Structure 1
């Protein structure tokens, strides 16, 4: 069964460009080997990740994420079966909030997501945790 997990976490320590690069290298390699796709959005202490894949491959990765001492808490926002992937071809796409025109980037990254509730969750995360005061583009109906 194909599933998607969406979670939010807080880094216990500030992350550097180098430490994020190491996380991305390991995660992309692991995800590609397990046919996991997803999106990671980070800014400051807060991170949101959306991962999707077959349950038997996704569950060990989810348990590894939950056990990782670099972040706490890890709060699951959504876990559900999906009919198709939203992030086909992305072993782990990443954007941080230092990117110029974050709203445009977020729209580009999430524009292909067919589930309007998921798009809305990503937008809410960005509104609350990443860019306070930044007006993000509308993604369509709720």
Structure 2
């Protein structure tokens, strides 16, 4: 398993400039084709009631699933999100949440992943499912 601090170090993923992941404080802590793990702080990602924003969970889930799909499709294909579904089970108010992404289906044209997000006590806060379309890499990229 490869452990990285900066997902931009992967030849399969090009994050470019001004990434949402940086603004959200998301860090990819480990990845391989069968499992991608990342963390995100609750602080700075709360909604007005002081709880982790549901949209922040969605950003973490889509980030992890997209990285996994990009690893699966590389180098011939790129991954583009098609559908994201999130179920929020319990609130996180502080600390860091961790997302673990595992494949449900990896095909030639689509890839679907389950992303389980837990709080620092290991309690599930969100279950997500992401499907990505795998498209041919444009010439010259």
TM-score when normalising by structure 1: 0.29
Higher relative contact order (Cα pairs below 8 Å, separated by 6+ residues) = 1
Q: Which structure has the highest helix share of the two?
A: 1
Q: Which structure has the highest strand share of the two?
A: 2
